[in-house]
Homo-oligomer: A and B are copies of this chain.
Amino acid sequence: MREAFHDQLESIFDDLAAICSQVEDAVSSATDALLKGDATTAERVISSDAAIDRARERVEETAFSLLSLQAPVAGDLRVVVAALRMVTELERMGDLSVHVAKIARLRVPHVAVPEEIRPTISRMAEVAEDMVRRVQDVITTRDVATAIEVGRDDEEMDQLRRQSFTELLSDSWSHGVEAAVDVALLGRYYERIADHAVSVANRVVFVVTGEFPAALRA
């Protein structure tokens, strides 16, 4: 019974890692579409999101059957509930990539991000992608040190977001309201992807140690 439980739990974590890899592709392709003004890639991100949604449903069904048939308690119960939450957050990261792709598509044949602010936005995208990649690692290896590093990357994301506002609101901004609104929303989407990445990483720490990183650091 216990062995069956842990096998099924392992298979849930494999599925989570696979979904995380789909999310990584979504974030990276959405950024590509955005920075190149590429409608085809944007469309692909938008239509691929349904596959992430279906994968989420499968994880949920497995988790439910695990809860129903094995009635785990204490730590095991918390692990299954953590997995349910992780899959919700991964799906949300996919949705946010779709939002990025939709801004890209809306501005084709132009590029939504003006040259001047491109370094900041493209760095935000890189940080977000890198965080998603690390989260996939964390899900696979359950390595607590890597999980805690994901939280550190988030500090760079916050700093980049402030930087983007400084650029948008400076007197030298010459790209008007539309580009400013696009950039502000894009910043929000990448920031939220990063927030969810931290949250997923923290849940893995919880799964491994029984405590959340804030408590670990305290």
Contact = CB atoms under 8 A, between A and B. Distances in A.
A203 to B, nearest CB: 12
A68 interface: yes
Interface string A76-90: 011001001100100
B184 A178 contact: no
Given A68-B77, A78-B64, A178 B188 contact: no
Contacts of A165: 181
Contacts of A173: 177
A85 to B, nearest CB: 7
Among A73, A85, A178, A184, chain B packs the most CB atoms within 10 A around the CB of A184
Contacts of A74: 68
A157 interface: no
A178 B165 CA distance: 9
Interface of A: 64, 67-68, 71, 73-74, 77-78, 81, 84-85, 88, 165, 168-169, 173, 176-178, 180-181, 184-185, 188
Given A64-B77, A169-B178, A180-B181, 15 more contacts: A67-B67, A71-B71, A71-B73, A81-B81, A81-B84, A85-B88, A88-B88, A165-B181, A168-B177, A169-B177, A177-B177, A180-B180, A184-B184, A184-B185, A185-B185
17 contacts: A64-B77, A64-B78, A64-B81, A67-B67, A67-B77, A67-B81, A68-B73, A81-B81, A84-B84, A85-B88, A88-B88, A165-B181, A169-B178, A169-B181, A177-B177, A181-B181, A181-B184
